[in-house]
Structure 1
Amino acid sequence: MKKMTLISSLLLSFSLQAHAQTPPDKAFEQFFQQLSVQCGKAYPGKLTLAPEGDTMLTGTELLIVHFRDCSETQLKLPFHIELEAAQDWNRSRTWIYTKHADKLELRHDHRTKDGHNDSVTMYGGFSYGEGTAIRQEFQSLERTTESGYFRGWRIEIEPGVRYTYGTVRGNDWSWRIDFDLSRPLAELPPAPWGHE
């Protein structure tokens, strides 16, 4: 009986040690992989939600996300905005996702037409909360501190269905763009400003 108890104790001990050495499931890595699968493709999108009075987009523009530059630890996604009145494009924005050992980082690279840094650029934050393989939220510490509630960005991806980028206040979307991943564009957009 003592022999069986000793064997059971040893097996339990080995089992606990093996479990402790197994890294936890990292949803942020799965999410990063879901984004990486889109590399080399561009997709059309549109504005689906904006706060009252917001004039950045009218909701009628063609929007394009291009999964352009990809490595094992970083993805650069230019965001192109069609300017209807001028029959031109705003190619000033690039979303940058960087994978760290324990989280993701989202930065917004904004450039002027001549390629220089915009007066406001490289703002963003780190992934916040548990997240899933299809949804991650990134906290803006500055905006959260100012408002007293969570502020930041929510990104969702359903391969073959949609890629969604937006801002959140508390638990709710405040601004949102949806891209149709079922319709890759035959013609890729040119490089964003400053990334030629």
Structure 2
Amino acid sequence: MGLPKRLLTPVLLTTLLMTGPSLAGPETLPEEQQAFWERFQDLCGKAFAGEISDVTPYYEDGVVDRELRMQVMECEEDRIHAPFHVDDNHSRNWILTIVDGTIRLKHDHRYEDGTEEDISQYGGDAPTPGLPTRQIFPADEHTAEILPKRADNFWFFDFVDEDTLQYGVHWPKYGHSIRVEFDLSETIPAPPRPWGYENDSPDR
């Protein structure tokens, strides 16, 4: 609910412009995270092939000998949407946003009809500042609620070099992990749009 115009004195208006969340500019990141964010945004509109560089037996069935593709599909000033495709399964989306002075990673999972899966929106916020090339995302409270056994999970994105981006997840309690490596030196044709995002984006 907004304040009546008569209450917006010059002093109060100046204060709102400086501190009000709806009037302030986009949040700023630490220098290291800003460099990471810009590097990710440089990939916008491009798609890349991936391969498994490391995996423990727990994850093998779902990823070994599969076609893995990533597309940095949509980029906004404070949001990056990167679908991750496994063969003809287009349910997985990585959503990176700038929130509370850091970068947040969420995994948005959709059924083929576009509705959200029961296990979705897990992830977490990167501890600041991290590295310009690597950000780690420990599991947040929502993740612990829907996946109690994975409360110690963490995910990461790592620009290993100019031509290599790695995404991975590690589950310390049980020693399960997976790392996918994307070749940034060569783009591939864009995969189909992910389920639920064929036209307009679902409600965020």
Is 1:183 equivalent to 2:181 in the alignment?
no
TM-score (norm 2): 0.72
TM-score (norm 1): 0.75
Runs of 4+ with >4 A deviation:
142-150
Instruction: Give the letter for the 1:61 counterpart.
Output: R
In the superposition, relative to structure 1, how do residues 96 and 150 fare at CA in structure 2: closer, same or farther (>3 Å)? same
Cα distance in structure 1, aligned partners of 2:29 and 2:107? 29
SS of alignment partner, residue 33 of structure 2: helix
Cα distance in structure 2, aligned partners of 1:63 and 1:144? 27
Cα distance in structure 2, aligned partners of 1:60 and 1:153? 22
| CA displacement 1:109-159 (0-9 Å, x = unmatched) | 000011110111111100025311100000103578967995311111246
Partner of 1:50: 55
Asked if the contact 1:48/1:59 (under 8 Å) is kept, the reply is no
Cα distance in structure 2, aligned partners of 1:92 and 1:24? 30
Cα distance in structure 2, aligned partners of 1:173 and 1:129? 25
Unaligned runs of 5+ in 1: 1-22, 83-88
User: Structure 2 matches for 1:143-158, cutoff 5 A?
Assistant: 150-158=152-160
- Identical positions, percent: 29
Instruction: Give the letter for the 2:116 counterpart.
Output: N
C-alpha RMSD of matched pairs (Å): 2.6
Pick the structure with greater CA Rg. Answer: 1
Cα distance in structure 1, aligned partners of 2:151 and 2:89? 32
User: How many pairs does the alignment contain?
Assistant: 166
User: Structure 2 matches for 1:54-69, cutoff 5 A?
Assistant: 54-69=59-74
Is 1:114 equivalent to 2:113 in the alignment?
yes
